[in-house]
Chains A and B, each alone.
Chain A
């Protein structure tokens, strides 16, 4: 059992005491990865992409994310915080970026390293190098959303070659921060802890089980929800000059912020996992001719809509846009860009490992058996009500039939069907 858990580590977990079995999460799960068993929601590990849709919808806050606690700071001699840029949009009132970053530092970090270092590099490398490669499959798909990546692995394996093989802003920032800190402080890699402050459940999973790289340089992940409270107490006093962010980097985690700075006309930016699925369907069918770049973000609004944020995504977005106005434009020199492309070529900030397809939707490994099972499902569906009520514990009647044919969830019963047959048997009065 423990081995199974390790195989499918997920940051999204269920608090069984809080779950009342209401079926809300069954319906929103984009990969049909949730079933009710004995009245409690259970996540099917191999299907979950950690998008956090279930956390967001749960009226009883029974779904949650496993993140690290502040105690993780004690494990290291020197600690660096990388706050997601989305943090800058979480505070109402006139809180400046430096004030927020100072408040983060006062939690107990030795250093703050902004994720904007990573966003700048990604834009420069995609614009000046990856887009210039005619061999690269179009549209190029952003690698920045870990939930979208897992979705592509499961549902759109044909589009895996389209993914930009460059690391995410946080991972790049973590690499730069660690390398710099080793040089400056004399501590070893192991003595330095890089802690990410995350709005994202899928990122948490990716730190433990990276996609496209061997090992993450991020040593711990704190939930933005947890950090928010710690920061509130620290706001307002002795602000340090910490930020180096540019206008472009602040807009980067907002939907469209990745495509726009590439300076191309044919890009498409789509947010919300269900909409992303629809557009990936179109791309897979070659229906979007001439599209150069596709930016797909699982959360509404982009990372500002992450499941671990506090502020409403639309308000956070406006706040970040206001803050961006006070920042300088990004203006990289040719030398800088050249250095960044070299860094990419060397593999330091590149996805060096193949991203493998995951065939979790299939009924059986053997096509003959698959066809037999499909035939059985087809037969069963004729007999099921088709109202997808979720009471049996599966999100749809089809999923119910599939589970039974696959030999999973054997105890599930269709209540509607039982009621109907009961009514039929009742003597007419």
Chain B
């Protein structure tokens, strides 16, 4: 099987390292020769997922899986979970504290951006235990860079 998997730990409240995982994801995809517009979509989605873990959870993991047909980002966190997923999908809805918003985060665009940048988005969450987000982007034939 030609597929490859990377696991990255993401820490809660670590704003200095925030963004590191999505940068690594981007670099890996570039080396694999994925089309640059797909790289951009995946890295934006991965960044949003990463920031969600940093801001809202008590820590978690981001897993990158690549097969010749699909790229999958799985963000798995421990934390409060999302009470109302449908509401969280709305642009501008956020439970981030004022302090976090002052820093320019928590604008309520996380999940909507992930949706915009993916072909499929699955969000499963249960209050008190955590959230599982799966982001998938298809690699259609002929869409690899030249």
Interface of A with B (CB < 8 Å)? 155, 157-158, 281, 284-287, 357, 359, 361-365, 367-368, 370-372, 374-375, 378, 402
Task: Write out the residue numbers on chain A whose beta carbons fall within 8 Å of the beta carbon of B36.
Answer: 157-158, 357
Q: Are B34 and A367 in contact (CB under 8 A)?
A: yes
**Does B30 belong to the interface (CB within 8 Å)?**
yes
B92 within 8 A of partner (CB):
no
A286 and B144 form a contact (CB under 8 A): no
Mask for B68-79, Cβ within 8 A of A = 1, else 0? Answer: 100000000000
Contact assessment for A281 and B145 in the assembled complex, using a CB-CB cutoff below 8 Å: no
- Taking a contact as CB atoms closer than 8 A, the residue among B31, B32, B47, B139 that contacts A285 in the complex is B47
Nearest chain A CB to B43 CB, angstrom units: 6
Q: How far is the CB of B115 from chain A (nearest CB, A)?
A: 15
- A367 to B146, alpha carbons, bound, how many Å? 11
Q: Residue B101 at the A interface, CB < 8 A?
A: no
Cα(A361)–Cα(B23), bound, Å: 15
Q: Which residues of A contact B23 (CB under 8 A)?
A: 281
- Asked whether B37 lies within 8 Å of A285 as measured between CB atoms, the reply is no
Q: Name the distance in Å between B67's Cβ and chain A's nearest Cβ.
A: 8
Determine if A361 and B139 form an interchain contact, defined as CB atoms under 8 angstroms apart. Answer: no
A378 to B144, CA, bound (A): 22
B54 within 8 A of partner (CB):
no
Q: A284-B43, A359-B146, A361-B31 are in contact. List 19 more A-B contacts (CB 8 A).
A: A157-B36, A158-B37, A158-B39, A158-B40, A284-B40, A286-B44, A357-B36, A359-B145, A361-B30, A362-B30, A362-B31, A362-B32, A367-B34, A370-B32, A370-B33, A371-B32, A371-B68, A374-B4, A378-B4
Residues of A within 8 A of B39 (CB): 158
* Complex Cα spacing A362 to B27, Å: 10
Chain B residues positioned under 8 Å from A370 (CB to CB): 31-33
Cβ of B34: which chain A residues have Cβ within 8 Å of it? 367
Q: Which 3 A-B pairs have the closest CB atoms?
A: A362-B33, A370-B32, A368-B2
Q: Binary interface profile of B, 109-146, with partner A (CB < 8 Å = 1, else 0)?
A: 00000000000000000000000000000010000111
Measured CB to CB, the closest approach of chain B to A285, in angstroms, equals 6
Q: In chain B, residues 9-48, which have Cβ atoms closer than 8 Å to a Cβ of chain A?
A: 22-23, 26, 28, 30-34, 36-37, 39-40, 43-44, 47
- For the complex, is B86 an interface residue (Cβ under 8 Å from A)? no
Cβ of A375: which chain B residues have Cβ within 8 Å of it?
A: 4
A361 CA to B29 CA, complexed, in Å? 10
A368 to B67, CA, bound (A): 8
In the complex, the answer to whether B32 meets A374 with C-beta atoms within 8 Å is yes
How many Å lie between the Cα of A362 and that of B146 in the bound state?
Answer: 11
B-chain residues with CB within 8 Å of residue A281 when the two chains form the complex: 23, 26
Partner of B33, one of A158, A285, A363: A363
Asked if B28 and A357 sit within 8 Å, CB to CB, the answer is no
25 contacts between A and B (CB under 8 A): A155-B30, A158-B37, A158-B39, A281-B23, A281-B26, A285-B22, A285-B40, A285-B43, A285-B47, A357-B36, A361-B31, A362-B30, A362-B32, A363-B31, A365-B33, A367-B34, A367-B139, A367-B144, A370-B31, A371-B4, A371-B66, A374-B31, A374-B32, A378-B4, A378-B6
Shortest CB–CB separation between residue B103 and chain A, in angstroms? 13
Q: Is B3 an interface residue (CB 8 A)?
A: yes
B146 smallest CB distance to A (angstroms): 7
Q: Which of B40, B44, B68 contacts A367 (CB 8 A)?
A: B68
Residues on A with C-beta less than 8 A from B22 are 285
A371 to B32, CA, bound (A): 6
B49 to chain A, nearest CB (A): 13
Which residue of B is nearest A160, CB measured? Answer: B36
Chain A nearest CB: distance from B90 CB in Å? 19
* Known contacts A285-B47, A371-B66, A374-B4: A363-B40 contact under CB 8 Å: no
